[in-house]
Amino acid sequence: MNTEKTYANQLDQKDNLKDFRKEFYISNGTIYLDGNSLGILSMRAEQAVDDAVNAWKKYAIDGWTEGKHPWFYLSEKLGSMTAPLIGAKKDEVIVTGSTTTNMHQLVASFYKPNNKKTKILADELNFPSDIYALKSQLKLKGYDPDEHLIQIKSRNGNTLETEDIVKAMADDVALIVLPGVLYRSGQILDMERLTKEAHKRNITIGFDLCHSIGAIPHQLSEWGVDFAFWCTYKHLNAGPGSVAGLYVNQKHFGNEPGLAGWFSSSKEKQFDMEHTLTPAEDAGAYQIGTPHLLSAAPLLGSLEMFKEAGIKQVRQKSLELTHYLMELIDSELSDYNFTVVSPTDEVTRGGHIFLEHKEAARICKALKADGIVPDFRTPNGIRLAPVALYNTFEEVWKTVHILKQIMKEERYKRYENKRGVIA
């Protein structure tokens, strides 16, 4: 391969998305490769927050029904804007709650154990929060998580085999919850096939899209996925603690949510103040409380950019960035005992690369000291996420060459091989 910096510059010149970089606040001298943990602020997201504050200032209580983006309908509007990113119908998506709150809502709604089907199928590589939530839901139903939560084993500690998941779809499984993209290795699961296999066995299936939404295209409605949930502060760049989202396939409309609340109501009935809930006839039924307006507002700006860029173009550049990164690692870092554990093929590789090294924690600290922001994962993982909307091929080139110098000069030895408070 061509390892010259000029080649990276040529790739940047041909980049159809390069103008979006100008819309983000990028610190001088910093290469930010942690967008799969927290995306950076865009000017449009900032403006959307300013607009929301000004609407509050101007309209006060009338902001619920007045202004450019009336608050009473904002969750539905943002759901409609999100739908193309996941291949859903606009009324199947709602922006609400947090990732784990939405997961609790969906599991409470779709986990319906009976005498035969009582178990939940998950995996051993999932983000801890999902497992905590599933165990909580089992306990609430009176089941022992040690017996009723089945976690698919990984053959190599980094990825999952589709056949192993399908094999685990036993007669006693009532619900399956899996990540769309594994948060460590970045492996994309075959959501279409897994959904098909689950439904063959009369099992409801849902996906955590935290590491896939905004990074890869989905076709949830076409695949028949029952439900999904996600955060918006990673690839969607909506800010720390921004309001999350959920999807419910339209075939489930008309059912009462497991956890009902004020905003579960039909819009037409909500202010009738009746003590019997009339649920919304779309994904809005799975809302619980009042939307967090100021934390939802950034999505108005961010999702506008995704509409302009197109998720297919975002995915194509992402694949090119991660491919280039892996090629440079193979070419330049072969003497330093790094192992790339992310999938190399484009079908199953998500939006970031996962490196393993026994000195990973201190290497991440050394990278940060040199202006590169990576992400450390216990015990020995380094995640690097070149994001299509704001990272460049030149930044990828610089990152690998700075990392090479850190290893060559052993500069990482200046730091303790231990994670910080937040890794």
Domain that holds residue 334: 5-32+310-414
In tens, the pLDDT along 232-282 reads: 999 999 999 999 999 999 999 999 999 999 999 999 999 999 999 999 999
pLDDT for 423: 66
- Cβ–Cβ < 8 Å for 393, 12: yes
Percent of the chain exceeding pLDDT 90 equals 97
Q: Are residues 279 and 351 in the same domain?
A: no
Cβ proximity of 371 and 29 under 8 Å: yes
Residues 121, 152: contact at Cβ < 8 Å? yes
Per the annotation, where are the binding residues? 99-100, 127-130, 208, 211, 233, 262, 290
With cut-offs at 50, 70 and 90, classify the pLDDT of residue 94: very high
Instruction: Give which of 47, 83, 131 is closest to 248, Cα–Cα.
Output: 83
CATH number at residue 408: 3.90.1150.10
* Number of domain units in the chain: 2
Say if residue 14's pLDDT is above 70.
Answer: yes
Task: List pLDDT tens digits, range 348-374.
Answer: 999 999 999 999 999 999 999 999 999
380, 360 Cβ separation under 8 angstroms: yes
Q: What is the pTM of this model?
A: 0.96
Domain check: are 296 and 384 in the same one?
no
328: in domain: yes
Residue at 422 is within a domain? no
Average pLDDT (326-343) is: 97
**Strand locations in 267-374 (E):** 339-340, 353-356, 372-373
Q: Are residues 281 and 315 in the same domain?
A: no
Within this chain, do residues 238 and 263 fall inside the same structural domain, yes or no? yes
Binding residues for pyridoxal 5'-phosphate: 99-100, 127-130, 208, 211, 233, 262, 290
Q: Tell me the pLDDT of the chain averaged across its residues.
A: 97
